[in-house]
Amino acid sequence: MHSNSTHYEAALLGLGAMGAALARAALAGGRRVIVWNRTAARAEPLVGAGATLAASAAAAVEAAAVVIVCVTDYAATLSLLADIDLRGKTLVQLSTGTPQEARELAAWAATRGAHYLDGAILAVPSQIGGENATILASGSEVAYAAAEPLLRTTAAVRFVGSGFGTAAALDLGVLSTLFGALLGFYQGARVIEAEQLPVDGLGAMLVAVMPAIGEMIRNDAEAIHHSRYAAPESSLEICWRSMELLTRQAAEAAIDASFARFAAGQFYRGVAAGFGDESPAAMIKVLRAASAQKGAGA
Ligand SMILES: NC(=O)c1ccc[n+]([C@@H]2O[C@H](COP(=O)([O-])OP(=O)(O)OC[C@H]3O[C@@H](n4cnc5c(N)ncnc54)[C@H](OP(=O)(O)O)[C@@H]3O)[C@@H](O)[C@H]2O)c1
């Protein structure tokens, strides 16, 4: 099916793993969408599922008031939109980027007469359309009002403020937490393997304790927010000792110790700075001081 002058609820530009999942969920939610991808062959399964394929990105944009982009990065977004008329459109960027990139794209969109919403997808493609998918959005409230009905068919959508960089900042905060945890998990998996235990058992157990871990992280965030580090339930020194234990186990089992050494080294910086009996959240003071020194030296 190819585009004609019919009006669509949204144009979806970019049908990689994530863009295709968004389009599929929107179609399943009964939305009329027009799609485009640089490599047209990738659109075929979606056309089979009811999407209209535009002959060009410009044709897709022309056919819809809401334009949702999900490509590799902001540079790809700018290159594909460069020569397209965006006057009066709502532009939603769902490609991952930095807060500064979001602000720059918002400023660029304003010069092109578009309302801009920056979004961040907190899910993998197979989760899109399901109960565990979240999209953070920030920027123009007008753009949010226009895009929200479609976005909500793909994920739970949370408008996190009018700052164009806010969604990207929260996204990077989540990604840092996630990938930090994943590196720790891989070390944990080696501990389990060294004991000839099944790694999937660790995975299942982690799901069970995730609410408790989430609560600990939230408590740390509160401590940082209120600068409240004294009389902790569990001290920074205990974190350092736990990571030292991981280092010792790695030596005993002759497994890679790089993560364990890194984590122990980080917490040791907090102990050496005199924060050993404070909350682990006191690590933020070590990182702030390091930024200040770097800034002063620069
Ligand atoms: N996958 C995930 O788990 C996940 C989760 C959260 C957020 N995201 C974000 O979603 C975005 C897309 O990820 P993905 O997993 O869909 O990546 P992907 O499968 O690698 O797809 C990349 C998409 O970008 C398009 N593209 C790249 N450069 C382009 C250009 N210069 N002009 C036009 N189109 C261009 C590709 O088109 P072709 O098909 O022609 O190459 C393709 O549609 C990324 O920013 C990613 O960080 C992904």
DSSP 154: T
> From the CA of 231, how far away is ligand 1's center (Å)?
47
Taken in order 254, 256, 262, 264, is the CA torsion positive or negative? negative
Which residues are paired to 233 by β-bridges? none
Q: Which residue puts its alpha carbon closest to atom 24 of ligand 1?
A: 71
Letter for the amino acid at 260? A
pLDDT digit of tens for each residue in the chain (298 aa)? 444 445 899 999 999 999 999 999 999 999 999 999 999 999 999 999 999 999 999 999 999 999 999 999 999 999 999 999 999 999 999 999 999 999 999 999 999 999 999 999 999 999 999 999 999 999 999 999 999 999 999 999 999 999 999 999 999 999 999 999 999 999 999 999 999 999 999 999 999 999 999 999 999 999 999 999 998 899 999 999 999 999 999 999 999 999 999 999 999 999 999 999 999 999 999 999 998 777 665 4
Domain with CATH 1.10.1040.10 in the chain: 198-297
CB-CB contact of 3 with 59 (8 Å): yes
Quick one: tokens of 61?
């944009």
Residue nearest to atom 6 of ligand 1 (CA): 121
Q: 8 has which bridge partners? A: 64
Amino acid code (one letter) for 279 = S
Relative to the CA of 122, which ligand 1 atom is closest? 6
Tokens describing residue 296 = 């002063």
Asked if 53 contacts 47 with a C-beta cutoff of 8 angstroms, the reply is: yes
In the CATH scheme, what is the homologous superfamily, with its name and number, of domain 10-163? NAD(P)-binding Rossmann-like Domain (3.40.50.720)
Q: What pLDDT shows up at residue 19?
A: 98
- What is the number of the ligand 1 atom nearest to the C-alpha of 95? 45
Q: CATH 3.40.50.720 in the chain, residues?
A: 10-163
Angle at 175 between CA 211 and CA 248, to 5 degrees: 70
Domain at 198-297: CATH architecture: Orthogonal Bundle (1.10)
Q: Could you tell which of 37, 56, 72 is best to mutate to test the pocket of ligand 1, judged by most ligand atoms within 8 Å of the CB?
A: 72
